[in-house]
Chains A and B, each alone.
Chain A
Amino acid sequence: MTDHMPPPSAPARPPGDPSASGAVNTAGGQPGAAKGQAAIPAPPKMVKVVVDGTEVEADSRDNLIEAARRIGVAIPYFCYHPRLSIAGQCRMCLVETSDAPGRLVPGCQVRVKEGLKITTNSPAVKDNQRGCMEFHLINHPVDCAICDQSGECKLQDYYMEYDHQPSRIRTYKLNKPKREIFGPLVVYDAERCIMCTRCVRFMDEVAKEPQLAVVQRGSHSLISTFPGQPLDSKYSGNTVDICPVGALLNRDFRFQSRVWFVNKSPTVCTGCANGCNVYAESRGEVIYRLLPRRNEEVNQVWMCDAGRLSYHASNERRLEWARIGRGDGAESVGPRLAIEKAVELLKPLQGQGGVGIYVSAQCTNEEAVAAFQLGAHLGAQRYSTGGVPPGDSDDFLIRADKNPNTNGLRLVAQAFGVKLEESVGRLKGLIAMRTDGLSANSLQGTELFIAVAQNESAVSALADVALPCQSVYEQEGTLVNWYGRLQRTWASVAAQRADAAAGWSWASRILGGLGGAGPGNAAEAFAALAQKSPHLQGLTFDALSEDGMVLEELLPRDWPARAPRPSPAAHSVRGPQTTPPGMKVGDEASGGSR
């Protein structure tokens, strides 16, 4: 812990600072901005403009779309994206300004200036919007019924709002490639594509791997990869998110669910230590996909492909029922009998030493708290930790540490005065809070093994008592990311899966059987931690906002070049902090990446 000194310029952020969920920063896509956050943004210069007769105070770097968004006036657009460069491809955002009376100017490209009058609802503007929609739909196939984008498609929304008239096309539509496999995660339907080039610009400017390009000309143009070079970037999934239509689709999610059947719920990705803010979309107990959730200081509006697929561990190979015994003698007995068995096995060892506590770095802080409390009650001899082995990393969002809570575990261990060993050692008994990082080899010689495990594995098969653990997406808790950001998770997947319970709950129930007392819910576990930890003094579970808070003491000295970092100054240059009236959830301003 001691090597984590706050950098001299590390900006402090008060807990509960509401300026966290931001709207868009126009500067995000401008040259220089995408390189990272090296430059501390200059204080914003505010200018007054008039949007449809209403005066708006806008940042001088705002374009007309962002200025209008500040008062909830929606200027429609396909190709503009707040974090990408301006293309001016789609022509949907044309509006009238006092600078060029009688002419239409693109709202994405034109910046505001003092006294500018913007008209977004004149007949000329409306006529252009209607005409644009008609042109965009000329070659669009009749695909809504079989298209994954249905229900979150900008073409559908804008057609109803700006066009709503029958087709006037009397010729055949152009046929184009219908299912081009771009890469491991992305498939492309050229007929649905409106050539906004968001995906091309994303790969150039954000992923920094120019793997997509526009080929052919005119109405025959389409997006393509280069010969022999598939779209295999680690960030390729984001092209699907920013595609405003159903042209780029996620192969993992394709044909799995209709988007209106899934519940969207905020949570944190558990794929690596970066802790990208995401939405988990689920129905029943099954997660269907993860989508990035806006947090400028963690993941902006992006996430990596590996993180996108990390939910599978929450759906598949789950340990469903509480079980006692190993091998052929194994028996699913339900939670009550399993706890009784665990207590019966642990009682003789209580206070005798010879018991080890293993806490995986996949645990939430609350699970770790309960595990340490159980260890203290048993008089545990050794505490150890581990987790998913390190993997690849880059200078943007992907961290080598593939565990979401390594930092949090250190924090909890420090609070409870526990020294965490790297190996479990040779002990008579072992209690594992999640089994990631354990191997059958490391358990040789262990006579009694009690495992709280999320997934079935060679290790969970060795447990004398195996207790099914809820995934992080299914329970409330907190995680601390690689740079010390304390973030909440919620029970995003509402349905209860079999016997599964949060890890703290299992530890607490065993504690109860042994005559101790553990936390009754996640908030209590967090309170027990906050009481002991100098970093969390006075914090309560419910006071944590959706985008978390920074524990300054944990901030690292070295930052990967492009990794988003806490910067309160960045907030002040953004637009309105809450979803403006009339904005739909999922729009850029409201926290999604779409």
Chain B
Amino acid sequence: MTEQVLDPHAHDPLSLDAELPSSLMTVNLGPSHPAMHGTVRLVVTLDGETIVEAIPEIGFLHRGFSKSSENSTWHQVLPYTDRLNYVSPILNTTGYIMGVEKLIGIKPTERAEYLRVLGGEISRICDHLTCVGAIGLELGAYTVFLYAIEARELLWDRIAELTGARVTVSWTRISGVATDMPPGWEQRLRDCLPRVLELTNEIDTLLTRNRIFVDRTRGIGVISGEEAIDWGFTGPCLRACGVNYDVRKAHPYSVYDRMDFEIPLGSRGDTYDRYVLRLEEIRQSHKIVQQCLAQMPPGPIIGDDWRYALPPKKDVFGSIEGVMAHFKLIMEGIQVPAGEVYVYTEGANGELGFHIVSNGKGKPYAIQVRAPGFPILSALARLIKGHAVADLIPIFDSINMIGGEVEQ
């Protein structure tokens, strides 16, 4: 706690324009504050209403991801990656599995590629809806939050039908995915997508030109493109500064090179731009989802190399080959050749990187995640310095910190 030493004799206490004696105050925001999403603590030094200094303290959601992974087989790591960014789990698992596939030198089937992109983009929409809804909620626009959550629930229902779980999906597999679209699912998705867009537009109408919302967000938490790059920003927070970097376009992976979509860009790098950009990305992801549905070829959803892919149940119960492959994969896990890879994909919050080292012994030797949220959170103090304490919440919302990935 910093304190100004005041000299009582410096001012004439009777004078009208005498400064009121004041001192800096340190307060804790979080970790149990609802606006801190339950997972981060900010030690904020205030001069009146103005933020002088802020130190984010993370670790309240620390799960020992790297260490746990070292003691798990390659498939057992998969559920841990679900829980990195738990709002868009399919994007995480896809990133991890792509890394393992690169180590092995194996490709997923065509249909699986499309399913991964489809699931990933639905997850991205969910992630952005959550962020946008939360900004509205915490600035008093509760309606916006309800609209966002309604749209997200529609999509999570589809994800639950596709993968068997709303959030902890564990759906991606080496050389494919676990389940195909169930019968009638495609139509249900097509039916709900317009409603999602409608709700997104509704949010747009309610907030984007709303006097109060614009005043609270425009010019708040500004960061320049150059400085953002220095901090290590990626994803919507970087693009809000006008820097055109999206892994899907810059280094296309999976089937993104076959997709027709735009990368929206901001110009000011403030809270408002970060919000508007996410709304636009929801619309672009919607376009990608439509294209996936149109282009998706029929075929197997997982490869048939039983050294890596679990055999279909029909073969496990019906053939000795299948039951032996199943036994070895479940009891001993897959054997990944020794090597080291860095695989990066566009997560909902930016570049999600998996640095994976294998020593060929059936378990990862080391896994390090480049969580997009981590460098952005580290710049939070820089973003909120000099702003009023009330601005902290919208700024914090707009960087969309997710405890699971930041504190792995």
Kindly supply a per-residue 1/0 record for chain B positions 304-341, scoring 1 wherever the CB is within 8 Å of any chain A CB and 0 otherwise: 11110001000101111111110110010000000000
Kindly supply a per-residue 1/0 record for chain A positions 127-170, scoring 1 wherever the CB is within 8 Å of any chain B CB and 0 otherwise: 00000000001001111110000110001110110011111010
Closest beta carbon of chain A to B360's beta carbon, Å: 10
Q: Are A164 and B322 in contact (CB under 8 A)?
A: no
Q: Are A165 and B324 in contact (CB under 8 A)?
A: no
Chain A contributes a number of interface residues (CB within 8 A of B) equal to: 21
Q: Which of B305, B307, B328 gathers most chain A CB within 10 Å?
A: B328
Residues of B with C-beta under 8 A to A169: 319
The distance in angstroms between the C-alpha atoms of A521 and B281, with both chains bound, is 72
Q: Are A160 and B307 in contact (CB under 8 A)?
A: yes
In the assembled complex, A172 has its CB within 8 A of some CB on chain B: no
Q: For chain A residues 222-281, which have a beta carbon within 8 Å of chain B?
A: 260
Residues of B with C-beta under 8 A to A260: 331
- Given A156-B328, A160-B307, A160-B328, answer yes or no on A167-B323 (Cβ-Cβ < 8 Å): no
Residues of B with C-beta under 8 A to A137: 320-321
Q: Are B327 and A164 in contact (CB under 8 A)?
A: no
Residues of A with C-beta under 8 A to B307: 160, 164
Q: Are B325 and A164 in contact (CB under 8 A)?
A: yes
Residues of A with C-beta under 8 A to B311: 166
Q: Are A150 and B327 in contact (CB under 8 A)?
A: yes
Q: Are B325 and A142 in contact (CB under 8 A)?
A: no
Closest beta carbon of chain B to A478's beta carbon, Å: 36
Q: Are A142 and B318 in contact (CB under 8 A)?
A: yes
Closest beta carbon of chain B to A152's beta carbon, Å: 11
Q: Are B328 and A163 in contact (CB under 8 A)?
A: no
Residues of A with C-beta under 8 A to B321: 137, 159, 163, 165-167
The distance in angstroms between the C-alpha atoms of A163 and B304, with both chains bound, is 13
Closest beta carbon of chain A to B359's beta carbon, Å: 13
The distance in angstroms between the C-alpha atoms of A527 and B257, with both chains bound, is 75
Closest beta carbon of chain A to B159's beta carbon, Å: 31
Q: Which of A137, A141, A144, A157 gathers most chain B CB within 10 Å?
A: A144
- Given A159-B325, A166-B315, answer yes or no on A151-B306 (Cβ-Cβ < 8 Å): no
Q: Are A142 and B306 in contact (CB under 8 A)?
A: no
Residues of A with C-beta under 8 A to B324: 144, 155-156, 159-160
Q: For chain A residues 339-361, which have a beta carbon within 8 Å of chain B?
A: none
Q: Are A166 and B319 in contact (CB under 8 A)?
A: yes
Q: Are A142 and B331 in contact (CB under 8 A)?
A: no
The distance in angstroms between the C-alpha atoms of A117 and B37, with both chains bound, is 67
Q: Which of B306, B323, B324 gathers most chain A CB within 10 Å?
A: B324
By a beta-carbon cutoff of 8 Å, the part of chain A in contact with chain B is 137, 140-145, 150-151, 155-157, 159-160, 163-167, 169, 260
- Known A-B contacts: A144-B327, A159-B325. Give 18 more (CB < 8 A): A142-B317, A142-B319, A144-B320, A150-B327, A151-B327, A155-B324, A156-B328, A159-B321, A163-B321, A164-B325, A165-B304, A165-B321, A166-B304, A166-B311, A166-B319, A166-B321, A169-B319, A260-B331
10 smallest CB-CB distances across A and B, nearest first, come from: A167-B319, A160-B328, A167-B321, A140-B320, A144-B323, A159-B324, A164-B307, A156-B324, A164-B306, A144-B327
29 A-B pairs whose Cβ atoms sit less than 8 Å apart in the complex = A137-B320, A137-B321, A142-B317, A142-B318, A142-B319, A142-B320, A142-B323, A143-B320, A144-B320, A151-B327, A151-B331, A155-B324, A156-B324, A159-B324, A160-B306, A160-B307, A160-B328, A164-B305, A164-B306, A164-B325, A165-B306, A166-B311, A166-B319, A166-B322, A167-B315, A167-B320, A167-B321, A167-B322, A260-B331
